[in-house]
């Protein structure tokens, strides 16, 4: 199993950025509307729009909401590139972000309930119907991957120079992105799942949604697990790729390192370790 270090950094960066966005309320505690707050947070991050009530609550305007949305798309593009082992993603970031605008439009959520706890926090239960597009891609990509790795067997990959490898990586990126675009019209939602998060008060008395709590919400939006499981797919990052501690930095390239081929094992009926 490959280490998840960079993926954890990227997901944490996404949650941290979104968790800090709009993380305070300007109204008195008694007037704080947790339902409006959580609905607004999700809408601004994944739809790029939100209610006037939410903006009044946190003191935001349309420009700030759009900025949060664009940063959300950029960070999601980094996660996508890492998950699918795209080592030179810079030329594809804009296209991937446009793709995620369409993917995010399928978000389905409902704030089911809110409750004030004895410790002063507010529990919020949210029901999601996770977007199923990654699972559709997992089910349909077998034939495309088979053709790709027949064209680029390990022996060919290992003899590539830098220029050849970059072209190979670009073809790999195009394959994955096109699979997503091809299946995008079929995007649906999975069975409802409920997530409970807590809003806590900081030293100034303002309610905040920590990065850890926002990650719980983020995990409900899109289901990246393999079909029939609750397990994230193994990233196809090449062995030895350098990990970055800068959450805003694109995934660093690795020169002439072949993309692993886990799907070949599945095709042959051999279990990948």
pLDDT in tens, 247-256: 343 333 332 3
Say what the pLDDT of residue 202 is. Answer: 84
* Residue 176 confidence (pLDDT) above 90: yes
**CA–CA separation, 161 and 167 (whole Å):** 10
Per DSSP (E only), the strands in the chain are 109-116, 122-128, 193-201, 207-208
Helix (H, G, I), strand (E, B) or coil at 200: strand
3-state secondary structure (DSSP) of residue 45 = helix
The whole-number pLDDT of residue 63 equals 95
Q: What is the pTM of this model?
A: 0.74
| pLDDT at site 227 | 63
Residue with tokens 């909401």: 65
Measuring CA to CA, how many Å separate 206 from each of 19, 121, 266? Answer: 14, 11, 51
Pairing assessment for the beta strands 122-128 and 207-208 based on DSSP bridges: unpaired
Scan for tokens 């699972």, then name that residue: 135
What pLDDT, in 10s, does the model give residues 230-272? 444 444 433 223 333 233 433 333 323 333 333 333 333 333 3
Q: How many CA atoms lie within 13 A of 203 on its CB side?
A: 0
Rounded mean pLDDT, 167-189: 96
Measure the CA–CA gap between 111 and 35, rounded to whole angstroms.
Answer: 6
Mean pLDDT of 11-40: 62
Q: Which residues contact 62 (CB under 8 A, 6 or more apart)?
A: 55
End-to-end CA distance of the chain: 7
Tell me how far the alpha carbon of residue 171 is from its chain's centroid. Answer: 22
For residues 98 and 104, give the distance between their C-alpha atoms in angstroms, rounded to a whole number: 10
- The three-state secondary structure class of 56 is helix
Share of the chain above pLDDT 90, in %: 59
Read off the pLDDT of each residue in 203-218 and give the average, rounded to a whole number: 89
Mean of per-residue pLDDT scores for the chain: 78
Q: What is the pLDDT of residues 106-117, one digit of tens each?
A: 999 999 999 999
Structure tokens at 10: 């990227």
pLDDT digits (tens, 9 = 90+) for 86-107: 999 999 999 999 999 999 999 9
CA distance 236 to 230: 18
Question: Which pLDDT belongs to residue 117?
Answer: 93
- Does residue 22 register a pLDDT over 80? no
């Amino acid at each position: 199993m490959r280490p998840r270090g960079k993926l954890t950094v990227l997901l944490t960066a996404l949650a941290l950025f979104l968790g800090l966005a709009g993380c305070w309320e300007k109204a008195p505690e008694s007037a704080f509307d947790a339902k409006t707050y959580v609905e607004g947070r999700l809408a601004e991050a994944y739809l790029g729009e939100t209610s006037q009530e939410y903006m009044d609550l946190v003191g935001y305007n349309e420009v700030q909401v759009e900025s949060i949305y664009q940063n959300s798309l950029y960070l999601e593009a980094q996660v996508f590139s890492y998950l699918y082992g795209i080592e030179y993603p810079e030329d594809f970031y804009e296209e991937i972000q446009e793709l995620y605008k369409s993917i995010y439009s399928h978000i389905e959520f409902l704030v089911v309930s809110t409750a004030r706890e004895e410790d002063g926090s507010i529990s919020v239960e949210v029901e999601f119907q996770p977007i199923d597009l990654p699972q559709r891609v997992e089910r349909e990509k077998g034939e495309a991957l088979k053709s790709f790795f027949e064209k680029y067997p390990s022996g060919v990959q290992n003899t590539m120079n830098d220029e050849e490898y970059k072209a190979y990586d670009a073809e790999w990126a195009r394959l994955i992105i096109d699979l997503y675009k091809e299946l995008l019209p079929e995007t649906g939602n999975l069975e409802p799942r409920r997530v409970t998060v807590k809003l806590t008060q900081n030293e100034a008395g303002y309610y905040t949604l920590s990065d850890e709590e926002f990650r719980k919400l983020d995990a409900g939006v899109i289901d990246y697990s393999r079909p029939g499981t609750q397990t994230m797919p193994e990233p196809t990052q090449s062995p030895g790729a350098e990990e970055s501690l800068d959450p805003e930095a694109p995934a660093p390239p690795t020169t002439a390192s072949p993309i692993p081929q886990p799907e070949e094992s599945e095709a042959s009926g051999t279990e990948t370790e």
